[in-house]
Amino acid sequence: MEQKENDHLLIKVNEGVMHLSLNRPDSLNAFSPEMIIGLKNAIKRAKHDETIRVVTISGSGRSFSAGGDVKTMGEASAIETYEHIGELNELIRSMRDLEKPIIATVHGFAAGAGFNLALACDMILAAEGSKFVLSFSKVGLISDGGGLYFLPRLIGPYRAKELLFSAEPITVDEAHSLGIINHVYPLNEFEVKVNEFAAKIADGPAKAYGFIKKIADQSLTSSLDEVLEQERITQATVVSTEDHREGVQAFKEKRQPNFRKADKGVLSQK
């Protein structure tokens, strides 16, 4: 069933996957306060709904997202900008804190903060012909929405600064070669391929995925010893889950495991 969080965000939940679609196609899904609030509320819902195992974020119409709305650029005061970016930052933090995989599905353009929204996800799938650009410097701004955090860690500071300084678009193939995106699919097959990919992830061990995401993200600012100890503690926890027991049993029986079993015996460790 499809529903609207508000006019700027569509939500559909199917077979454990929450599909979020940015819904301002006439403005190439440029961000609005309503869109950001809708995304935050949807991520909060996904956090507390155990039936939701994966989240996807896409764009309606011709593109993923143009980022900031050029129609209102130059009108906001410093205080208004500070408050707007604060709302965006809350969304980015909630996405990284969600212990469930988030998949960006990009077609057309992912520009500016729209590109950074995709980078804040755990994986990026893109359609052939897509382009990515961090256009902030062309209007005398810096990257926001976590771009200055995610991109240097993903491709290294030198390549990241070149993309940020030049503000030149890169093709989907270039983005793929840089390791920015996971998979490229033909545009006419894109929706089918995305749904297949999301369904496959949704069929996996949800508790283990949550811990993997958390530890992998923390590893960027942790020492080897800290990660080793976190792996040790977490592994000692997940061996008692129903998912682990099901995985072992399925392996012995030479069948696919059924991980879609509620396992309320192990809670996230914060």
pLDDT tens-digit map of 201-242: 999 999 999 999 999 999 989 999 999 999 999 999 999 999
pLDDT at site 261: 61
Please give the Cα distance from 100 to 55 (Å, whole number): 7
Please give the Cα distance from 228 to 225 (Å, whole number): 5
Question: Within 10 A of 2 (CB to CB), how many other CB atoms are there?
Answer: 10
Domain ranges of the chain: 2-202, 206-253
pLDDT at site 4: 64
Given the structure tokens 């460790």, which residue do they identify? 269
pLDDT digits (tens, 9 = 90+) for 141-183: 999 999 999 999 999 999 999 999 999 999 999 999 999 999 9
Cα distances (angstroms) measured from residue 217 to each of 102, 114, 120, 196, 222: 13, 21, 11, 25, 9
Confidence of residue 269 (pLDDT cuts 50, 70, 90): very low
Confidence of residue 264 (pLDDT cuts 50, 70, 90): very low
Average pLDDT rounded to a whole number, residues 18-30: 96
Domain 2-202, CATH class in plain words: alpha beta
The answer, as to whether pTM is greater than 0.85, is yes
Query: 147-155 vs 157-166: helix axis angle to the nearest 10?
Result: 130
Percent share of the chain, pLDDT over 70: 93
**In 3D, which of 90, 96, 99 has the Cα closest to residue 52?**
99
Query: Domain 206-253: which topology?
Result: Lyase 2-enoyl-coa Hydratase; Chain  A, domain 2 (1.10.12)
For the chain, the average pLDDT equals 91
